[in-house]
Chain A
Amino acid sequence: MENTWDLIGTVLANVLSWQTLLIIVVGILYGILAGAIPGISASIAVALLVPFTYTLDAGQAMILLTTVYMASSYGGSITAILVNTPGTPGSVVTTFDGYPLTRQGKPGLALGTSIISSTIGGILGTIILIIFSIPIAKFALSFGPPEYFALAILGLTIISSLSSDNLIKGLIATLFGLLLTTVGVDPFTGFPRFTFGLSELGDGFSFIPALIGLFAIGEVLVQVETFVSKPKEIDKYSQQFPNFKMIKKLGGLIFKSSIIGTIVGAIPGAGGTVATFIAYDQAKKSSKTPELFGKGSLEGVAAPEAANNAAVGGALIPLLTLGIPGSASTAVLIGALFMHGLVPGPELFTKQIDVVYILFAALIIANIFMLIIGWLGNRLFVKVISIPPAILLAIIPAFAVVGSFTINRSMFDVGTCIAFGIFGWLLKRNDFPTAPVVLGLILGFMVEANLRRTLLMGDFTLLFTRPLSAVMLLIALVSFVYPFIRKKKKII
Chain B
Amino acid sequence: MNLKNKKSFSSSLFILLTVLFCGIIPSFAQYPEKTITIVNSNNPGGVIDLMARKLAVIAKKYEDVNIIIENIPGGSGTAAMNYVLSQPADGYTLLATLKSYISTGLLSEDGVKINDFHLLACMVYDWEAIITNKNSEVVSFEDILKDAEIKNGRQKWLGPNTGGLDHLMALETWEKCSIQARWIPFEGSSVSIAALLGGNGVVYVGNPLDVKGRPDLHIAAIASPNRLSDFPNTPTFIEKGFDLKEQMWRGFSVKKGTPKNKLDFLENLLKKVSQDTEWQSYIKSGYAEPVFLNNAEMEPQLKYEEASAKRLLTRAGVINESSGKTNKNSWLYLIAFLIASAAFVFIVFKLKKTLNDKEFLVLVFLIGIPLYFLYQSSFFPNSQKITENGPALIPRIWSLGLLLFTLIYLFRFKNIKPTKNVSEEYPKLLAVKLVLLLLGYFISILFFGFYISTFLFIISILWTLNYKSILPMLSVAFGFLLLIYLLFEKSLNINLPNGIWL
Contact = CB atoms under 8 A, between A and B. Distances in A.
Interface in B369-404: 369-370, 373, 376-377, 380-382, 389-391, 393-395, 398-399, 401-402
A416 to B, nearest CB: 11
A291 interface: no
Enumerate the 8 nearest inter-chain pairs by beta-carbon distance, A residue then B residue, closest first: A335-B45, A345-B213, A343-B213, A190-B163, A50-B44, A394-B461, A390-B467, A186-B391
A199 B391 contact: no
Contacts of A189: 162, 317-318, 381-382, 390-391
A430 B496 CA distance: 35
Contacts of A452: 389, 393-394
Interface residues of A, number: 110
Contact of A144 (B72, B83, B199, B361): B199
Nearest to B187: A269
26 contacts: A168-B409, A172-B366, A178-B398, A179-B398, A189-B390, A191-B318, A194-B395, A196-B331, A197-B324, A199-B109, A199-B110, A202-B78, A202-B108, A203-B74, A225-B431, A229-B465, A323-B214, A331-B45, A336-B44, A388-B467, A391-B476, A393-B465, A401-B445, A426-B362, A456-B182, A458-B154
Given A144-B200, A199-B110, A229-B465, A395 B476 contact: yes
Given A268-B194, A391-B476, 11 more contacts: A43-B43, A145-B200, A172-B405, A197-B327, A335-B49, A339-B53, A343-B212, A346-B213, A390-B465, A397-B438, A409-B494
User: Which of B70, B331, B362, B458: most chain A CB closer than 10 A?
Assistant: B362
Contacts of B462: 390-391, 394
Given A188-B391, A323-B214, A346-B213, A335 B47 contact: yes
Contact of A451 (B376, B394, B438, B466): B394
Nearest to B376: A194
B75 interface: yes
A143 interface: yes
Which of A199, A229, A318, A452 has the most chain B CB atoms inside 10 A of its CB?
A: A199
Contacts of B32: none
A193 B359 CA distance: 29
A227 interface: yes
Task: Give the residue among B71, B334, B370, B438 with the most A Cβ atoms within 10 A.
Answer: B438
A121 interface: no
A389 B484 CA distance: 20
Contacts of B197: 141, 322, 324
B376 A347 contact: no
Contact of A421 (B194, B319, B412, B438): B438
B435 A51 contact: no
B340 interface: no
Contacts of A402: 450, 484, 488, 496
A48 B492 contact: yes
A229 B467 CA distance: 8
A199 B424 CA distance: 41
A447 B394 contact: yes
B132 to A, nearest CB: 16
A439 interface: no
A188 to B, nearest CB: 6
Given A144-B198, A186-B391, A411-B445, A398 B78 contact: no
A437 to B, nearest CB: 11
B466 A224 contact: no
Given A197-B110, A269-B191, A332 B45 contact: yes
A179 B370 contact: yes
A389 B184 CA distance: 52
B467 A391 contact: yes
A430 B467 contact: no
Contacts of A226: 427
Contact of A195 (B185, B215, B319, B327): B327
A408 B72 contact: yes
Nearest to B356: A430
Interface in A211-231: 217, 220-222, 224-227, 229
Nearest to B480: A395
B75 A202 contact: yes
Nearest to A342: B213
Given A50-B44, A143-B198, A347 B215 contact: yes
A357 interface: no
B198 A141 contact: yes
A187 B402 contact: no
B93 interface: no
A322 B405 contact: no
A176 B366 CA distance: 8
B427 A175 contact: no
Nearest to A350: B215
Contacts of A132: none
B491 to A, nearest CB: 9
A218 B326 CA distance: 32
B190 interface: yes
B442 A415 contact: yes
A415 B213 CA distance: 42
A195 B161 CA distance: 18
A418 B442 CA distance: 8
Given A182-B373, A335-B44, A203 B438 contact: no
A451 B393 CA distance: 10
Contacts of A172: 366, 402, 405-406, 409
Given A197-B327, A423-B365, A179 B399 contact: yes
A344 B216 CA distance: 14
